[in-house]
Amino acid sequence: MQDNRNSRCGLGCDNMGTVCISTNRVLDCCRDRDCFEDVRIFLTSFGEEVVANASNIRTRCAKLIGAYVGVDAVPFNRGFYRVTVRYYVKVECEACLCMGKSQSFCGIAVLEKDVILYGGEGSVVSYSSSPATEYCGVVNTNNSCTNDPIAVVETVEPIVLSTKVMDCSCSCNSCCSECCEIPESICGCIDGELVSNSNSNSPHLYISFGIFSVIRIEREAQLLVQATDYSVPDKECTSASSDDNPCSLFNTMPFPINRFKTTVSACVEQNQSGGSCGCGNK
């Protein structure tokens, strides 16, 4: 039985050697900066009423509340996949009304993009054991998985570039179709129900966004890596509280010097180039 062991997996090796691990392997990735110009903001009936009576509107903040990431094989191009990303952004706006009053309201924006990445070929089905499964018992159909490629999207909060109010430039049916496709879980993030059959003659709110993102495509794979055996740490745990002296924990904290520093690197670079940094130095 000992001869059946796979020597390449590091079994029986010393403290440093090659071991086999199962993990996700990154096959392809890309980074991008996307500018979504004049995106229609879906509002509630209250929000549309505020927009219709506002003299000026500004966007206070924009926050990602969800995203859909889909992977589809590209026809006639083996190994390549189309990654579709749909962002759902919650925006909080403030409108200037009559007599110097302001009113805040929220809305939902839908941003979508597609990229093509290489995801490899081949597809297998894997089954895993479970302690709760008996030999002659009911077969668990949820213990299988495939090694189909998966897409991972990393992004930061969207940047608001512009806010404007314009008349609807498309037919009402095309505008309402996107509103009806917003999931209920996303719609529940704001108070009230989104209006899907708004009047095409009423003004609509449009916001331009900028998003930085990194998209990668992965597959499950077995890899040989260099590793060392795990050792028990020598450092002992320190209690986070002290009943004897409540200030003892605070006294052990280092002084946050960096919090009190003012970054002047940008000013130094501009001064060297002969420009003004706006801080009184030329």
Domain borders along the chain are: 24-130+142-224
Question: pTM of the prediction?
Answer: 0.72
Provide the H-helix boundaries in the chain. Answer: 45-53, 172-180, 184-187, 248-251, 265-272
Average pLDDT, the chain: 80
Tell me what pLDDT residue 131 has.
73
Of 112, 120, 165, 180, the C-alpha closest to 146 is 120
How many other C-beta atoms can be found within 10 angstroms of the C-beta atom of residue 61? Answer: 12
Of 25, 123, 98, 106, the C-alpha closest to 60 is 106
Cα distance between residue 271 and residue 155, in whole Å: 34
* Mean pLDDT confidence for 202-229: 90
Lowest mean pLDDT among 56-65, 99-108, 175-184: 175-184
Lowest mean pLDDT among 22-31, 52-61, 152-161, 166-175: 166-175
Phi, psi (degrees; rounded to nearest 5) at 186:
-75, -40
Q: What is the dihedral of CA 123, 124, 125, 131, to 10 degrees?
A: -130
pLDDT band at residue 172, thresholds of 50, 70 and 90? Answer: very low
Lowest mean pLDDT among 69-73, 152-156, 243-247: 243-247
Tell me what pLDDT residue 282 has.
47
Lowest mean pLDDT among 48-57, 177-186, 199-208: 177-186
Tell me what pLDDT residue 273 has.
57
* Mean pLDDT confidence for 111-125: 89
Query: Given a cut of 70, is residue 18 above it in pLDDT?
Result: yes
Query: Given a cut of 60, is residue 235 above it in pLDDT?
Result: yes
* Mean pLDDT confidence for 41-56: 89
Asked whether the beta carbons of 208 and 162 are under 8 A apart, the reply is yes
3-state SS, residue 179: helix
Query: Given a cut of 70, is residue 191 above it in pLDDT?
Result: yes
Query: Given a cut of 50, is residue 10 above it in pLDDT?
Result: no
The CB-side HSE value for 92 (13 A sphere, CA atoms) comes to: 11
Cα distance between residue 176 and residue 265, in whole Å: 49
Query: Which residues, at least 6 apart from 140, have a Cβ–Cβ distance to it below 8 Å?
Result: 130, 133
Of 222, 230, 221, 228, the C-alpha closest to 20 is 222
